[in-house]
């Protein structure tokens, strides 16, 4: 949200006489700053500057010497091979090379200055306590590694990495450039390469070969192909061989400086404006292997989420008071739609100040009453906390970022002049923890939402220095709903489904534009100067305006725009600057929030969700996709975003469902509510002054949401088990179809459908006015069977052919993979009530008549569990077998069993050799349904290990025998409901 709410206002439109009247905020005349405070020189990005020198043409590279073999690799000196080029900085004359075979699947190549002292180390290296810094794993040696490092010294030092006979990374024929403010390395690529990752950007999942990925955390909404919130410099490449067989590998560059990756037809150029080359190569060989190797071996495994976080969340910028919040909660209850948590945007704050409540609209006493009712109903509350602290009210205790002269850095944000916590100062953790624990005593929140963590400032430089007495209480821009800022944008095709309303919106938009033009005054913002780049100065680093200009999204492209200035200084021993730390601020504030919440809730898994992140942030935070738009394109790109973060190690990801900026409509919101139900994080959130878009507002959206919410909540055990595997083994939750079917080249670019785990294929409708959707069913040529979720009929389709599937409004196509067993739970109105309901087993047989699945159980919230349970479930030879380990008490019974893919009704059902009588049994077109098991046979808990099993000497533990032959499933059952 936040600063890009400016974009929400500029990029959007609201309704005048349209179907619903949006809430228009009213503001009293309060002091604000002139917009000129955010004026900065206009620069030309290097990639757009035809006069910019090419470092490959003018720089000499390095020569290797003193090469020595170590126990785990090589070390060498690298010396500049000619006259310094000083193209975008000052050449570092002597470097050190360290090559380490760190594990069987990981090879590390480090190039850094030979002479480092504590005073300049942070300019080049990221400390290990900030993000993962792996070393050599025990027992690793040359012969065990999948990868091989080779090098050449002619004409200068070059190297390549190979896996077997295949080169996967090569700098041959190029020079390595290493300056104090510019590094460059070029690797050749195979033709038409398949590269994925390099989050965070809004783009297709498979990256093109004519684009530039810029990394500089920015509070700028969701522009296409531009730098936004996060920095994850890892890419995954997949190569197809022998027609289809594929191999994948990964490359991670551990560097937090502003940087760019230039993806071109036959090479990738990696450039940064500081730091060092700290490269890690991962051998795979599958995409899923690469992801697990990256998370498990380098940045760390994702945090295990609390069970309730998997429920549905509702938020809005514009909930005016606690009464409105209660009305939202009641609205969901009255509509019969699950609601797990309600969230507050900045509306609750006293003048937008962190850790405060406005006494008029959000008084503490009324809030305590509201939260008592909410918690009694098993629901939760999550408020926003911005990354800046109101400056005149701060205690200036030394825990804030400073100017180079030692004074506090005063930028501006929602509350006016602000300071920012300095998380390199150990005392700042105590400050942050104290603020959150003190506030919790008044407002019993359940998690914390961190925003503006790029970190965002609405002015250039320390604009509050000497000006704190002004104390502005309004941001230096107009807000949505202000005169001239009414939002009249709607989704594509709104003019087709709502002709009259669309015409009214168009006329109102024209009238508003005319009125604004007639009353506009000359801008007080001085014209910005324009220059291409600064010239490097020996012995000096220009932090605010480095010579190499990245393609920063903001107007003018300067690093000082809309953020803390790069020369702002931290209070660590060596005065590390924001030039080094900018892309790490969001990572560190989320980490500090995680540890603060451990003090608020001892031994409870903290729930924090942040906007800006870095490699390794998934260890402690979730992420949402930021300020997207109520457009069909935004919904489409949400899938690619989620898959980017599957690679990056942040599986707890979702977007603002139905769109944040602009007005949604019933068609888009219906489709989006159904799509997001299959994302790990499921939240609806939109901008102030736009139409209300809670799921109960339109009857069609309510119907669609009720339908999909029943699916979502029944799948909670499956979701939770997927997170267990992500947390313990680096597996993915949402995953690309190509990752599950790696040898089908046709799937390499698929990003309009996805897998949830290995079992479910989701194919949403992503365009307006559609009643069908084209679906590819992977694996058919190899015998994979797909079952329709709603009917459990086997899909009839041809291999490699897009198949048209019926998808009327309110129904999202979902398919179950043959060979899968899904443990389900009958849905309640919250995750807590769902956990108390009976389990169901949904079994989809493969062509051999078998299936398998698993289930992880614990208390759903404790950081350290007293007991857990893991259940392997198999169907083989017409029998279901449960293999149970662990002692967690799970009393829920087994209610139903559904088996799809049988060719005949079984003559009888036995449990541990005892015939089951009184159980409701139906069989239709290959689908067997057993219901009512919980009332007679399994009321004491199906996964209680000994609750229904005979002694092992008499019969295998937990076996439910279902006699009957299996078939390659076919036919069209008319039964409804998957379980």
User: In the structure encoding, which two tokens stand for residue 317, read together?
Assistant: 């910028």
Alpha-carbon gap, residue 126 to 114, rounded angstroms: 16
β-bridge mates for residue 113, sequence order: 95
Task: Write out the catalytic residue numbers.
Answer: 451, 454, 627
777 contact partners, CB below 8 Å, separation of at least 6: 761, 784, 786, 795, 797, 799, 803, 815
Nearest to 557 by CA among 570, 544, 542: 544
Contact indicator for 748, 207 with CB cutoff of 8 Å: no
Burial class (CB in 10 A: 0-12, 13-18, 19+), 575: middle
The DSSP letter of residue 399 is -
With 0-12 CB in 10 A as exposed, 13-18 as middle and 19+ as buried, what is 138? Answer: exposed
Question: Regarding beta strands 894-900 and 839-844, do their DSSP bridges make them parallel or antiparallel, or are they unpaired?
Answer: parallel
Give, as one character, the DSSP assignment of residue 476. Answer: S
- The whole-angstrom separation of Cα 282 and Cα 134 is 13
Rounded CA separation 682/339 (Å): 11
362 within 8 A of 326, measured Cβ to Cβ:
no
Where do the DSSP E strands lie in 206-330?
A: 211-215, 234-241, 245-253, 259-263, 267-272, 277-282, 312-314
Instruction: End-to-end CA distance of the chain: give it in Å, rounded.
Output: 39
CA distance 760 to 751: 15
Q: Are 840 and 898 in contact (CB under 8 A)?
A: yes
Burial class (CB in 10 A: 0-12, 13-18, 19+), 685: buried
Burial of 426 (C-beta count, 10 Å sphere; 0-12/13-18/19+): exposed
Q: Rounded CA gap, 663 and 704, in Å?
A: 19
3-class DSSP assignment, residue 833: helix
Q: Which residues contact 527 (CB under 8 A, 6 or more apart)?
A: none
Q: State how far the Cα of 690 lies from the Cα of 664, in Å rounded to an integer.
A: 8
Tokens 């080779």 belong to: 150
Q: Which two tokens stand for residue 419?
A: 């300071």
Write the burial class of residue 265 (CB in 10 Å: 0-12 exposed, 13-18 middle, 19+ buried): exposed
- For residue 869, count other CB atoms closer than 10 A to its CB: 19
Q: Are 687 and 715 in contact (CB under 8 A)?
A: no
The answer to whether residues 854 and 871 touch, using CB atoms and an 8 Å cutoff, is: yes
Q: How far apart are CA 251 and CA 282, in angstroms?
A: 6
Cis peptide before 285 (omega within 30 of 0): yes
**How far is Cα of residue 730 from the mean position of the Cα atoms in its chain?**
15
Radius of gyration (C-alpha) of the chain in whole angstroms:
29
Strand order in the sheet with 62-70: 62-70, 73-80, 94-103, 106-113, 277-282, 245-253, 234-241, 194-197
Are 342 and 325 in contact by the 8 Å Cβ rule? The answer is yes
Cis-peptide, bond into residue 155, ω within 30° of zero:
yes
CA neighbor of 879 nearest in space, from 905, 920, 910: 910
The closest of 796, 793, 714 to 756, measured between CA atoms, is 714
């Amino acid at each position: 949200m936040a600063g890009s709410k400016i974009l929400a206002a500029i990029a959007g439109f609201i309704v005048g006489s349209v179907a619903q009247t949006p809430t228009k905020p009213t503001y009293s005349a309060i002091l604000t700053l002139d917009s000129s405070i955010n004026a900065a020189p206009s620069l030309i990005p290097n990639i757009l500057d035809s006069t910019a020198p090419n470092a490959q043409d003018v720089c000499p590279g390095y020569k290797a010497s003193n090469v020595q073999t170590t126990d785990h690799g090589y070390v060498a000196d690298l010396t500049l091979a000619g006259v310094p080029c000083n193209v975008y900085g000052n050449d570092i004359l002597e470097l050190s090379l360290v090559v380490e075979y760190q594990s069987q699947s990981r090879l590390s190549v480090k190039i850094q200055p030979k002479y480092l002292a504590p005073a300049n180390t942070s300019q080049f290296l990221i400390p290990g306590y900030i993000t993962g810094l792996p070393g050599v794993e025990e027992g690793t040696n040359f012969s065990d590694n999948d990868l091989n490092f080779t090098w050449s010294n002619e004409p200068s030092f070059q190297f390549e990495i190979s896996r077997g006979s295949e080169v996967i990374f090569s700098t041959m024929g190029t020079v390595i450039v290493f300056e104090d403010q510019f590094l460059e390395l070029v690797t050749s690529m195979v033709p038409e390469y398949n590269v994925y990752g390099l989050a965070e950007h809004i783009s297709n999942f498979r990256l093109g070969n004519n684009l530039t990925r810029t990394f500089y955390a920015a509070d700028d909404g969701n522009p296409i192909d531009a730098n936004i919130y996060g920095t994850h410099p890892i890419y995954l490449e997949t190569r197809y061989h022998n027609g289809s067989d594929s191999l994948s590998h990964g490359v991670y560059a551990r560097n937090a400086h502003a940087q760019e990756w230039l993806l071109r037809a036959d090479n990738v150029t990696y450039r940064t404006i500081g730091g060092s080359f700290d490269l890690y190569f991962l051998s795979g060989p599958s995409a899923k292997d690469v992801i697990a190797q990256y998370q498990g071996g380098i940045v760390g495994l994702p945090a295990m989420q609390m069970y309730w976080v998997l429920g549905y969340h509702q938020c809005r910028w514009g909930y005016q008071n606690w009464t409105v919040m209660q009305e939202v909660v009641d609205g969901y209850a009255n509509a019969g739609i699950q609601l797990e948590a309600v969230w507050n945007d900045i509306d609750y704050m006293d003048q937008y100040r962190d850790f405060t409540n406005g006494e008029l609209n959000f008084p503490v006493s009324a809030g305590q009453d509201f939260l008592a009712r909410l918690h009694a109903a098993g629901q939760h509350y999550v408020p926003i906390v911005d990354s800046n602290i109101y400056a005149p009210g701060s205690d200036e205790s030394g825990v804030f970022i400073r100017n180079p002269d030692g004074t506090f850095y005063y930028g501006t944000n929602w509350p006016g002049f602000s300071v920012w916590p300095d998380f390199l100062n150990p005392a700042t953790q105590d400050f942050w923890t104290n603020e959150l624990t003190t506030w919790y005593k008044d407002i019993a929140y359940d998690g914390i939402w961190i925003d503006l963590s790029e970190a965002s400032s609405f002015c250039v430089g320390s604009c509050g220095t000497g000006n704190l007495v002004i104390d502005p209480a309004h941001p230096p821009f107009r807000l949505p709903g202000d005169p001239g800022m009414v939002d009249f944008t709607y989704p594509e095709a709104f003019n087709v489904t709502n002709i009259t309303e669309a015409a009214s919106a168009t006329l109102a938009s024209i009238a508003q534009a005319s009125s604004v033009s007639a009353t506009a005054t000359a801008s007080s913002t001085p014209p910005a100067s324009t220059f291409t780049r600064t010239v490097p100065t020996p012995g000096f680093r220009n932090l605010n305006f480095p010579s190499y200009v990245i393609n920063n999204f903001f107007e003018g492209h300067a690093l000082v725009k809309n953020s803390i200035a790069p020369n702002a200084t931290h209070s660590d021993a060596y005065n590390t600057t924001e030039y080094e730390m900018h892309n790490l601020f969001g990572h560190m504030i989320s980490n500090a929030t995680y540890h603060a919440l451990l003090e608020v809730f001892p031994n409870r898994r903290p729930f924090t969700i942040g906007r800006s992140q870095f490699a390794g942030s998934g260890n402690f935070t979730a992420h949402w996709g930021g300020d997207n738009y109520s457009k069909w394109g935004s919904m489409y790109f949400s899938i690619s975003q989620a898959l980017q973060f599957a690679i990056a190690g942040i599986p707890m990801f979702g977007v603002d469902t139905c769109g944040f900026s602009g007005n949604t409509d019933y068609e888009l919101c219906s489709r989006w509510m159904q799509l997001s139900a299959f994302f790990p994080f499921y939240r609806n959130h939109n901008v102030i002054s736009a139409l209300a878009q809670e799921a109960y507002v339109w009857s069609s959206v309510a119907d669609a949401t009720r339908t999909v919410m029943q699916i979502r909540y029944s799948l909670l055990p499956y979701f939770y088990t997927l997170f267990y595997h992500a947390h313990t083994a680096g597996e993915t939750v949402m995953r690309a179809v190509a990752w599950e079917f790696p040898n089908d080249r046709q799937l390499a670019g698929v990003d309009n459908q996805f897998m949830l785990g290995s079992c479910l294929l989701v194919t949403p409708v992503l365009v307006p006015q559609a009643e069908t959707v084209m679906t590819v069913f992977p694996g058919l040529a190899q015998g994979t069977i797909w079952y329709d979720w709603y009917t459990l009929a086997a899909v009839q389709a041809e291999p490699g052919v897009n198949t048209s599937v019926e998808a009327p409004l309110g129904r999202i196509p979902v398919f179950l993979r043959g060979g899968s067993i899904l443990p389900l739970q009958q849905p309640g109105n919250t995750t807590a009530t769902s956990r108390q309901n009976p389990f169901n087993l949904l079994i989809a047989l493969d062509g051999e008549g078998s299936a398998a699945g698993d289930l992880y159980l614990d208390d759903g919230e404790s950081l350290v569990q007293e007991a857990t349970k893991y259940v392997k479930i198999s169907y083989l030879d017409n029998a279901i077998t449960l293999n149970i380990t662990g002692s967690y008490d799970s009393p829920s019974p087994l209610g139903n069993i559904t088996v799809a893919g049988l060719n005949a009704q079984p003559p009888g059902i036995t449990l541990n050799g005892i015939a089951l009588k009184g159980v409701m049994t139906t069989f239709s077109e290959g689908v067997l349904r057993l219901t009512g098991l919980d009332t007679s046979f399994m009321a004491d808990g199906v996964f209680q290990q000994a609750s229904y099993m005979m002694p092992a000497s008499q019969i295998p533990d937990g076996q439910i025998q279902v006699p009957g032959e299996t078939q390659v499933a076919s036919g069209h059952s008319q039964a409804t409901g998957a379980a």
